[in-house]
Amino acid sequence: MMVKETSPGLLPMQIAKHYGFPLQYTGKEQSIAIISLGGEINMDELKKDFQAMRVPMPDIKVVLVEPESITTEQNQMPSGETHLDVEVIGSICPEAKITIYRGPNPSGLAAAVKKAVADKNSVISISWGASEIYSDQNSEMESVLENAKKEGVTVCVSAGDGGSSDSRNVADADGKAHVGYPASSHHVLACGGTELLMKNGERSEVVWNNSNIGRGATGGGVSHLFGLPSWQSSAGIKIPSINTGKIGRVIPDVAGLAAGGDWKIYQSDKAVLIGGTSAVAPLWASLIALINEARAESGKSQLGFVNERLYDLAANGDLFTDITIGNNKSAPNYPGYDATSGFDACSGWGTPIGSKLFEALTKLE
Whether pLDDT at 263 is above 80: yes
Residues contacting residue 261 through CB under 8 Å, at least 6 positions apart: 4, 6, 8, 9, 273, 275
Tens of pLDDT along 190-218? 999 999 887 777 778 999 999 876 788 99
Domain that holds residue 356: 2-363
Half-sphere exposure of 8 (CA within 13 A, CB side): 4
Three-state SS at 51: helix
Q: What angle do CA 92, 292, 254 make, to 5 degrees?
A: 70
Q: Within a 13 Å sphere around the CA of 331, how many CA atoms are in the beta-carbon half?
A: 13
pTM of the model: 0.95
Q: State the CATH number of the domain containing residue 107.
A: 3.40.50.200
What are residue 40's phi and psi, to 5 degrees?
Answer: -65, 150
What pLDDT, on the 0 to 100 scale, is given for residue 6?
A: 40
CA atoms within 13 A on the CB side of 325: 6
How do beta strands 254-257 and 189-199 pair? Answer: parallel
pLDDT of residue 174: 87
Number of domains, the chain: 1
Mean pLDDT of 131-155: 89
The pLDDT assigned to 40 comes to 80
| Residue 13 to residues 19, 77, 93, 156, 283, Cα–Cα distance (Å) | 10, 28, 10, 19, 10
Q: Indicate which residues carry an active-site annotation.
A: 81, 85, 278
Q: Specify the pLDDT at position 332.
A: 86
Handedness of CA 288, 289, 294, 295 (dihedral sign): positive
